[in-house]
Amino acid sequence: MRDIRIHEVGLRDGLQMESEPVPTVTKEQWAAMLIDSGLDILQLGSFVNPAKVPQMADTDELFDYFKSNKKDRKTLLSCLVLNEKGLERAIKSDADMICMGVSASETHSKKNTGMSTEEALKRIIKMAIEVPNLGKPVQVSVQSAFGCGFEGEIPEEKVINIVSRYSDAGILNISLADTAGHAHPEQVKRLFSSILEINDKIKLACHFHNTYGLGITNVYTAIEYGATFIETAFGGLGGCPFTKLSAGNVCTEDFVHSLQRNNNRKDINLEKIIAVSKYASGFFVKELPGLVYKTGGLKY
């Protein structure tokens, strides 16, 4: 458990569903607080078409703002890209880590990228194998890996085939994303176990949404079966705008609190993450899905 790394995605996945625009200066403040908390990776945003996802229109500006403290900063700043234009912007912005992915759902893939799964996979693999040559880590994902709001069940062999294609291309940082929140623990166990049978050198990440209340349970199951990078969002914010029923991510402070109850990741400052969630709750004038920011953490 001490090897668990937390990838905070609230500024990207957390905000993309919010209709209230968040000023760039406010995002800068939230990001600085999350960096100060000691989280391992922070996803500042996505390099996508701002007409489709307006909250991401200032991603370039955010990366530019944090360039000045790059040498002193321990937290890696990641981004999401969907195509070659997004990758060019990510490289220009000098993102520390570049994430990209393919949906196992044909319907979700077309709504999200305008491409079929196969079309997107070929492009993503071609892009992903270029990134390490730039001296940057790359993470690829399989989105809608556990089910789709439009199509329902996604064949597990389709997910495994995508992972195999990544592995064959030498891309070994791989995340399974539960975009629609359909995952259940036994399914998580089967998929993660199968992936390590493909290649035991794969570094596994997981990204669960809490649509049906199983998010943190699925995280712990994924950890048991090899996942070491856990993607979460402060306050439990989040949801893909191109799914049928969007719901928040596993909440960062709830997960960190659970780790610290077992004397793990005590190096992370829980109170600073809670402060961001309280700030965001006040900004959006609503209660967020997370729990610990409301209750406070247990002290024993």
Query: Hey, which residues does 213 pair with through a beta bridge?
Result: none
Compute the distance between CA of residue 119 and CA of residue 113 in angstroms, rounded to an integer: 10
Residue 203 pLDDT level (bands cut at 50, 70, 90):
very high
CA dihedral sign, ordered 167, 170, 175, 180: negative
Q: Is the pLDDT of residue 208 over 60?
A: yes
The domains located in the chain, with CATH, are: 5-295 (3.20.20.70)
Residue 285 pLDDT level (bands cut at 50, 70, 90):
very high
Q: Is the pLDDT of residue 300 over 80?
A: no
pLDDT 10s digits, 3-20: 999 999 999 999 988 989
Annotated catalytic sites, by residue? 240
Closest CA to 222 of 243, 262, 195: 195
Q: Which residue has the higher pLDDT, 253 or 108?
A: 253
pLDDT 10s digits, 65-107: 998 877 789 999 999 999 999 999 999 999 999 999 999 999 9
Closest CA to 264 of 226, 220, 221: 220
3-class secondary structure, 92: helix
Compute the distance between CA of residue 182 and CA of residue 59 in angstroms, rounded to an integer: 29
CA-to-CA separations, 228 to 29, 177, 278, in angstroms, rounded: 28, 14, 28
197-226: b (≥16 Cβ within 10 Å) or e: ebeeebebbbbbbbbeebbbbbbbbbbebe
